[in-house]
Every structure is written in C-alpha cells, then in structure tokens.
Amino acid sequence: MEMSDDIYRDIAQAYAAAAEKAPGLKSRFTAAGFDPAAVTSVADLSRLPVMKKEELLKIQRENPPFGGFLASDLKDIGRIYVSPGPIFEPALSGGGGHGLDLLFKAAGVGPGDIILNTWMYHLVPAGLLFDEAAQAAGATVIPGGVGNTELQAQIIVETGVTSICASTAFFLTLADKVIETYGRDAWKVKTAFLGGEMGDWMAKRRRIEADYGVSTWAAYATADLGLVAYEDGGDGYLVHPDRVVQICDPVSGEQVAHGEPGEVVVTARDATWPMIRFGTGDSALALESNADGTVSRISALQGRVGAAVKVREIFVYPRVVEEVVIGTPGAKAAQAVVTRESDRDMIRLSLVLEDGADASAAEAAAAEAFKLHARIRADAVSIVAELPENAELIINQKDR
C-alpha cells in the first residue's frame, strides 16, 4: 500500500505551527536538530528520536501540568485526563471519541443499538472515549461504569442492551449473572467490545463467541493518542488513517524489518496534543506495511517493551510464551527462563500439563510453537508439576 504523501505535509504544517506555541515541543525539536516544516517523508520524520512515556512523565513533573507540550489554548481543552504516573493528557472538545467510532462502524453497531459501557468514567479516558465514539456512530449509551453486577444485569434485560463494552472478565460476570437470574432467553446481547488482555485471549474470545452468541471486537488505543488501530474483521488491527505507525527497535528507535517485533511508535496527523514519534512502550509487529515501511496493519500486542529479553540477537516477548500455551495440546501454563552459559544465550521452557495429557506430544508441540513465534529454537522443553501462582512468562537470568 502507498502511504498518502499529504499526511506528511499535514504533519509538517501542524508540528511547525505547534512548536511556536509549545516551548517544550520546540526544545525537543531543537535538541534533536529537527525541523518539522521540512518533513516530506517517513525518513525525515525518523530523524527525530523516539520520545518514551517515561520522558513525558519527567518533563511534566518539571513543568506541570503539560510540560510545555500544549499546542492549543487552555480554553479549547474539553477535558484533562489523568493516567497512572500521573500523566496529564488534554483532550479537545468533540472528535467522535478520537477515532474510536471507526471500531463501532466496523462492527456494524450504530443507530438502534443500546450499548452498556462499563469502562471507568473518571480520571482515565476509557469510559468517555467509548461513550463519545458510540454516540458518534449513532448508538445509544448507558454509562454503567465498573461494578454493581446485579443492577447492571437488570439494566441489560430491561432496556434491551444489544452491545456491551467491558473487560473480558467483567463481561463474563455480567453474562453469567443475566443467564442465572433471568434465564438464557433473556440474553439478547449481540456484540461485545472487550478490553485487550494478554494471555490466552484470542482463544478466550472464541469461547465467548460460541458460548454467548456474540461477536467480539477490540481496538488498540492509548490515552495519549486516542485510537491507534482497530479490528475490522481481518487479522490484527487496521491502523487509523490519521496515524503514522512505525515498528522500531526499542533501543535505537530505527524501524525494524517487516514482520520483526518492536516498539509501536506513533505520530498523530494533528498536533493539538503533539504526539510525534511517541513510543507507546507496547510491542507488536507489522502484518501489512506501506511502501515507505510504515505500518498499515499491526499484530496483537506482544507485551511491554521492557518485558522482552534479548536471546541470540532476537527479542523474545512474553506473548511468545502465551502462544506456546495456546499451541500445545494439554498445556495449562508455561514459562521461559533465559540464561547465559559459556558465551551462549540459552532459553528453556517449562510446561504445566493437564492431567492425562501426552507429555512427549506436548514437548514437541511446544518446541514447534516456540520456534514459529520466537523465530529461534528453545534449548530445552521440560514438563513440571506446577509453576508459582501468577508466574512471570519470561525470566531473564543472563546476568546472574
């Protein structure tokens, strides 16, 4: 696919203007010797070092609330969100839930749908973003928020809720409560917009679809950027047309080859809250790339960048270990341990199996799944009786 050149023209104009209003942004550009007005391509854009979330946090502490990055007038800000840290994120009035309406439209949810939105409405953007987006798509929203299971089950039945926005766990709690209290026929929900969770998530979603007769949908959004990418029925997530997404080496900030995992680095087309070459701290890989190497479709998230361990020149993410569990018949849990022995990185897998599972078949399947997803071989696969509760998926013992 071609990346439209006008997105770079828009970025050049928007960030050149923003730098005149936002001294923090201007000093970031000056320190990098970067001229936003000269941007005509992703190569020009990539001359700016990636800014990590931790850096934004530090800048805001030194110069609260926005670290000199606000490129619009305070009177134009509709809300200030507060993410853990705390990081302050200004949101301008209007804007259809910052692109999240595309997710509802892809799912065919709109006028005539009643959505129970159980995301939090205070401090963080999730609740209000989903609310605005659903309304922009033409649906009716019940602002449920978190908790209150009995009441929310009653709301679902008596108002005829057709769609639920929730974490996977809370969705299951609500569905089971409706069915247990009012019977299976009272359950009329058709679609669910679920929070992306690590773990055996896609398999869990397939079970939910089969058991509760719903189609499930998800998006990749962050507080800083709004919607980055969303499910459209194809693999992974389709990148929002107003975002330039790069998959970059988490250390050097350079674009990695297509299909290699790396940090999701995003530039927004508009600069009201100037997120240019912003490192999300999440890792993914490109499923489809544009001609210039930017990404038009990203995979499911592989984990936080800091959680990856470099093994024989390849970053291995926690997600790989989850894929091993999904791809191994009879596996309940797994863990990878990385060590360094006589100048070589070693990675060993431990598997916990269901009672009666075929151990040798499981070992072979786990080794195969690991090689497929990590692109390197595991040095050993062993069956263990148990792993600690909430054991880390990957442990780095290289420096011991």
Report the CATH number at residue 293. Answer: 3.40.50.12780
Same domain, 225 and 146: no
pLDDT at 202: 79
Same domain, 342 and 270: no
Same domain, 104 and 204: yes
Q: Does 220 score more than 90 pLDDT?
A: yes
**42-67: pLDDT as tens digits:** 999 999 999 998 899 899 999 999 99
Residue 213 within a domain: yes
- Look at 30-34, 225-229, 306-310 and tell me which has the smallest mean pLDDT: 306-310
State the DSSP H helix or E strand holding residue 210, giving kind and residue range, or none if neither: helix 201-212
Domain boundary among 286, 304, 322: 304
Same domain, 46 and 159: no
Domain boundary among 175, 192, 217: 217
Q: In what order do the strands lie in the sheet with 226-230?
A: 219-222, 226-230, 237-239, 295-298, 286-289
Same domain, 147 and 66: no
Alpha carbons within 13 angstroms on the beta-carbon side of residue 216 total 21
Q: Which phi and psi angles does 398 have, rounded to 5°?
A: -65, -35
Alpha carbons within 13 angstroms on the beta-carbon side of residue 66 total 23
DSSP 306-330: GG-EEETTEEE-HHHHHHHHHHSTT
Residue 34 within a domain: yes
Same domain, 286 and 315: no
pLDDT at 209: 96
**pLDDT (mean) for 301-319:** 85
Q: How far is CA 70 from CA 14, 17, 88, in A?
A: 13, 12, 11
- Look at 14-18, 29-33, 80-84 and tell me which has the smallest mean pLDDT: 80-84
Specify the amino acid at residue 287: L
Rounded CA-CA distance 330/356 in Å is 8
Residue 1 within a domain: no
**253-266: pLDDT as tens digits:** 999 999 999 999 99
Rounded CA-CA distance 233/318 in Å is 25
**pLDDT (mean) for 13-41:** 97
pLDDT at 343: 86
Residue 141 within a domain: yes
Residue 225 within a domain: yes
Same domain, 352 and 281: no
Give the CATH number of the domain where residue 374 resides.
3.30.300.30
**343-400: pLDDT as tens digits:** 899 999 999 999 999 999 999 999 999 999 888 999 999 999 999 988 899 999 987 6
Same domain, 317 and 391: yes
**122-143: pLDDT as tens digits:** 998 889 999 999 999 999 999 9
Same domain, 119 and 208: yes
Residue 74 within a domain: yes
Same domain, 283 and 337: no
The owner of tokens 């087309």 is 269
Domain boundary among 187, 217, 247: 217
Per cent of the chain over pLDDT 90 is 76
Rounded CA-CA distance 372/320 in Å is 9
The owner of tokens 């969303």 is 230
Rounded CA-CA distance 270/231 in Å is 23
The owner of tokens 């309406």 is 101
- Give residue 4's pLDDT band: very low, low, confident or very high (50, 70, 90): low
pLDDT at 305: 85
* Mean pLDDT for the chain overall: 92
Same domain, 19 and 100: no
Q: Does 198 score more than 60 pLDDT?
A: no
> What pTM does this model have?
0.85
Q: Does 36 score more than 80 pLDDT?
A: yes
State the DSSP H helix or E strand holding residue 245, giving kind and residue range, or none if neither: strand 243-248
Q: Does 2 score more than 70 pLDDT?
A: no
Q: Does 147 score more than 80 pLDDT?
A: yes
Same domain, 107 and 193: yes
Per cent of the chain over pLDDT 70 is 96
How many domains, the chain?
A: 3
Among candidates 88, 2, 18, which has minimal Cα distance to 269?
A: 18
Rounded CA-CA distance 217/232 in Å is 8
Q: Does 251 score more than 80 pLDDT?
A: yes
pLDDT at 279: 95
- Which is more confident, 306 or 47? 47
Domain span holding position 229:
7-93+221-304
Residue 2 within a domain: no
Residue 155 within a domain: yes
Q: Does 236 score more than 90 pLDDT?
A: yes
pLDDT at 345: 93
